[in-house]
Amino acid sequence: MAEALINAENLTKTYQLGTVEVQAVGGISVKIKQGELVSIVGASGSGKSTFMHLLGCLDEPTSGNYLLDGTDVSKLKDKELAKVRNKKIGFVFQTFNLLPHLTVLENVILPAKYDSSANLNQVKKKAVDLLERFGLGKRLSNLITQLSGGEMQRVAIARALINDPVIILADEPTGNLDSKTGLEIIKILKGLNRENNVTEVIVTHDLNITRFTERTIKIKDGLVESEEINKVVEEVEEEGE
Partner 1 sequence: MAFGAMKLSKTRTFLSTLGVVIGVASLILITSFGYGAQASILSRIQSMGANTLIVTPSTSTDVTRAVSGESALRKPLTYEDLQYLKDQILGLQASPQGQSRTNVRVGNNEINTSVAGTNEDFLTVYNYTLAEGRTFFLSDIAGYKNYCILGSTIATELFGTESPIGQSISLLNSKFYVIGVLKTVGSVGFSNVDTNIFVPITKLQIITGQDSLQGIYVTTPSDMSMDVLTVVITKLLTARHNMANFTITNMTQFVELATTTTDTLTTALTIIGLIALIVGGIGIMNIMLASVAERTREIGIRKAIGATRSDILLQFLMEAVTITVLGGTIGIIIGVVGSKFANSIFRAVVTPTSIIIGFAVSVIIGIFFGVYPAMKASRLNPVEALRYE
Q: Which is nearer to partner 1, 78 or 237 (CB)?
A: 78
Sign of the four-CA dihedral 81, 83, 84, 85:
positive
Provide the residue count of the chain: 241
Exactly one of 48, 85, 139, 190 binds partner 1 (CB under 8 A); that residue is 85
Tell me the closest approach of the beta carbon of residue 32 to partner 1, in angstroms: 20
| Selected binder of partner 1 within 22, 99, 120, 207 (CB under 8 A) | 99
58 binds partner 1 (CB under 8 A): yes
The two beta strands, 167-171 and 20-33, are unpaired
Please give the residues from 143 up to 162 whose contact with partner 1 meets the rule CB under 8 A.
159
Of 84 and 136, which has the nearer Cβ to partner 1? 84
Phi, psi torsion values for 82, nearest 5 degrees: -60, -40
Give the list of residues 6+ apart from residue 1 with CB closer than 8 angstroms, or none. Answer: none
Q: Which of 42, 56, 150, 182 binds partner 1 (CB under 8 A)?
A: 56
Asked whether the beta carbons of 158 and 127 are under 8 A apart, the reply is yes
Closest CA to 11 of 69, 70, 52: 52
Is 110 a binding residue for partner 1 by CB under 8 A? The answer is yes
- Interior/surface letters 51-66, b for 16+ CB within 10 angstroms, e for the rest: bbbbbbbebbbeebeb
Nearer residue to partner 1 within complex by CB, 42 or 56: 56
CB of 203 to partner 1, least distance (A): 14
Q: Which residue, 97 or 146, has its beta carbon nearer to partner 1?
A: 97
Q: State whether residue 233 is helix, strand or coil.
A: coil
Cα–Cα distance measured from residue 107 to residue 128, given in angstroms and rounded to the nearest whole number: 12
Task: Report if residue 46 touches partner 1, rule: CB under 8 A.
Answer: no
Closest separation between CB of residue 94 and partner 1, Å? 10
Q: Which of 4, 14, 27, 93 binds partner 1 (CB under 8 A)?
A: 93
- Write out the residues near partner 1 by the rule CB under 8 A: 53, 56, 58-59, 78-79, 82-83, 85-87, 91, 93, 97-99, 101, 110-111, 114-115, 159, 163
